[in-house]
């Protein structure tokens, strides 16, 4: 069987009844398994991890859009995480028996379908991108929902599918295909956002830091902390332990302590080889956060 992973990120992390309704919409699709749902109040964001075949995942993403767009109004959304839309990003990831080409084809088909059905502009990214300048998610998100209208009026920012203006309440969506990514956050014992921002700048690849690392500093206002929020795009080049050690080294320069780290969503078992949850200072971590464990149970 050809198995594909889909990890939609939705701009709602506070109204858990809405998150539950979106999860129920996914679970109702035959042949699709919802493996995980993680919500964060400060980020105001939820991450769903589901697996299935191409047909089932297309149906599940459409069902998710239908439920999300009826509950989320981006005009009143405020959170720490960058975003351009209600269903902000929908990546497809090849797993057992599937290929990146299949995921690219699925991303393009799903992007076309949701744009046509919901009148939401869709940008394609990563392996599914049709423009080299739009492969990077952070480039598409730059300006966020609030700057989307002005950005879409610029040359080079016509969406791949859908109207050439933001949806009034749902903004835009970014759909693509990529390799496995680990969402890894490190919480600092500080309220100084400038420290988290400086650490993120020092460790990310684009600033000369670690290969495969993207990072930003964000405030966790509900906890009175700041966080280095990290996307590890290639754990075979840079390990989770290397990321944590780099954050610790930079934090020490500012006299700040690392309190804990966390995985958002699921992590491949291979990314944990040679280390432990204790060494990584992972909070609230167990077998249920490992992709292969969830697939087997």
- Residue 273 tokens, joined: 């080889």
Tokens of 93: 């990831």
Determine whether 255 is exposed, middle or buried from the number of CB atoms within 10 Å of its CB (0-12, 13-18, 19+): exposed
Task: Give the separation between CA 101 and CA 113, rounded to whole angstroms.
Answer: 18
- Annotate 187-202 with DSSP letters as a single string: EES---HHHHHHHHHH
In sequence order, what DSSP letters do the residues of 54-68 get, joined into one string?
A: HHHHHHHHHHHHHHH
Supply the residues annotated as catalytic.
Answer: 81
Cα separation of 290 and 53, whole Å?
A: 20
Alpha-carbon distance 70 to 171, whole Å?
13
Burial degree of 163 (CB within 10 A; 0-12, 13-18, 19+): middle
CA angle (287 as vertex; 286, 290 as ends), nearest 5: 110
Please state, in angstroms and as integers, the Cα–Cα distance from residue 182 to each residue in 20, 118, 130, 168, 215, following that order: 23, 30, 25, 32, 12
């Amino acid at each position: 069987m050809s198995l594909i992973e889909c990890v939609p990120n939705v701009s709602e992390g506070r109204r858990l009844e809405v998150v539950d309704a979106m999860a129920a919409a996914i679970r109702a699709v035959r042949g699709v398994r919802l493996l995980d749902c993680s919500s964060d109040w400060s980020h105001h964001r939820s991450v769903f991890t589901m697996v299935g075949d191409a047909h089932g995942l297309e149906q599940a993403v459409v069902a998710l859009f239908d439920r999300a767009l009826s509950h989320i109004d981006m005009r009143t959304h405020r959170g720490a995480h960058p975003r351009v839309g209600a269903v902000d990003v929908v990546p497809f990831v090849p797993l057992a028996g599937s290929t990146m080409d299949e995921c690219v084809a699925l991303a393009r088909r799903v992007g076309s379908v949701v744009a046509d059905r919901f009148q939401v502009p869709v940008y394609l990214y990563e392996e599914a991108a049709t423009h080299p300048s739009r492969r990077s998610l952070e480039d598409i998100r730059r300006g966020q929902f609030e700057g989307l209208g002005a950005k879409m009026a610029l040359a080079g920012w016509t969406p791949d599918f859908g109207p050439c203006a933001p949806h009034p309440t749902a903004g835009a969506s970014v759909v693509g295909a990529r390799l496995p990514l680990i969402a890894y956050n490190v919480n600092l014992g500080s309220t100084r956002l400038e420290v988290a921002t400086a650490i993120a700048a020092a460790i990310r690849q684009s600033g000369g830091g670690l290969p495969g690392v993207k990072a930003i500093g964000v405030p966790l206002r509900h906890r009175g902390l700041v966080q280095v929020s990290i996307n590890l795009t290639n754990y075979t080049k840079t390990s989770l332990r290397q990321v944590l050690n780099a954050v610790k080294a930079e934090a020490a320069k500012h006299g700040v302590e690392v309190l804990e780290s966390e995985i958002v969503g699921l992590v491949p078992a291979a990314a944990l080889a040679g280390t432990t949850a204790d060494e990584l200072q992972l909070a609230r971590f167990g077998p249920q956060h490992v992709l292969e464990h969830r697939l087997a149970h």
